[in-house]
Amino acid sequence: MMSRQAFLCSLGSLYLSLLFVFLLMDVYARPANNSALKEKPADNKDENEILPPDHLNGVKMEMDGHLNKEFHQEVFLGKEMEEFEEDSEPRKNRKKLMIIFSKVDINNDKKISAKEMQRWVIEKTDEHFQEAVEENKMHFRAVDPDGDGHVSWDEYKIKFLASKGFNEKEIAEKIRNNEELKIDEETQEVLDNLKDRWYQADNPPPDLLLNEEEFLSFLHPEHSRGMLKFMVKEIIRDLDQDGDKKLTLSEFISLPVGTVENQQAQDIDDDWVKDRRKEFEELIDANHDGIVTMEELEEYMDPRNEYNALNEAKQMIAVADENQNHHLELEEILKYSEYFTGSKLMDYARNVHEEF
């Protein structure tokens, strides 16, 4: 007769064997993607590499005309922005913020002036520019398969559709043979918009071939004055309701935010309208005539405009300048840390003097 210990050992072995079998069944039961027409990419990385981003770091408005809610943090933190995470330890974030304060305060008088903040904003904006240049080198290699230093529209189109899940070899063959591509309406609309942008990035003499610098303008229009104009035209086209190629306040704040179903949603909509109204009246409409022209919007959008950087510096100081001396002390920046870094610090005052 089997002992109790032997029985338990036998039962344990049986359980492990069954578990192993179930795991194998799970692996082999997963559906294989054998579609010859469309393949799902492993992730969105390739798509993000070759599709111009909606969000441009250090630029005040998104490509769709929405305000960039992270702009203040981007021009204050630069490439260090990722270090300030919501779940990071407040004490560590506090120390990082103190170090940044000391870097901005170049004359070491324990306060930050508008000129010091302007210099810092310009420096951090340049960091975002350089980061985009470095990423562009990698992205350009991804879409330049023959390595000749130029990318044709067809080469880009093939890589773009492959990133959307289409079979790359099949798409390439159809394009080479001038065969019709069966593309859904939404993807085709994106392609048409991208082709317009491709033409704009193609510097004279136009040849529909983009080199690395032109490809950078294609992905990041903020790097090119000509492409910046094109981006402004697209934004005005989307918001301009009467076709006069200018924006009134009502046009600027009429961008739909979503259906308002409850009071909380109504409050969100109200805050959104309030932010856009303030931006329009105080910052974009330079001559305060109630109309924003393409030229005014272009100046506002230009991330390398030093006058804009100074205005931004003054605005950032005004937010946290509790003693109204037109400078920022460390205590003020720590208290308003969420505005500058997206990270809310607790008990900031208690630790200021002992750590800094």
CA distance 81 to 39: 35
CA distance 216 to 137: 8
Asked if residue 34 belongs to a domain, the reply is: no
Asked if residue 77 belongs to a domain, the reply is: yes
Which pLDDT score, from 0 to 100, does residue 316 have?
92
CA distance 115 to 333: 16
pLDDT less than 70: residues of the chain: 1-49, 85-88, 255-269, 346-356
Asked if residue 220 belongs to a domain, the reply is: yes
Which pLDDT score, from 0 to 100, does residue 264 have?
52
Asked if residue 158 belongs to a domain, the reply is: no
Which pLDDT score, from 0 to 100, does residue 317 have?
95
Distances 128 to 181, 203, 318 between C-alpha atoms, Å: 37, 24, 24
CA distance 279 to 273: 10
Which pLDDT score, from 0 to 100, does residue 146 have?
82
Could you list the residue range(s) of the whole structural domain that residue 285 is in?
Answer: 70-150+211-257+265-353
Which pLDDT score, from 0 to 100, does residue 206 have?
85
Asked if residue 111 belongs to a domain, the reply is: yes
Asked if residue 227 belongs to a domain, the reply is: yes
Domain tally, the chain: 1
Asked if residue 65 belongs to a domain, the reply is: no
Give the number of other Cβ atoms within 10 Å of residue 161's Cβ.
22
Asked if residue 206 belongs to a domain, the reply is: no
**How far from the centroid of its chain's Cα atoms is residue 333's Cα?**
25
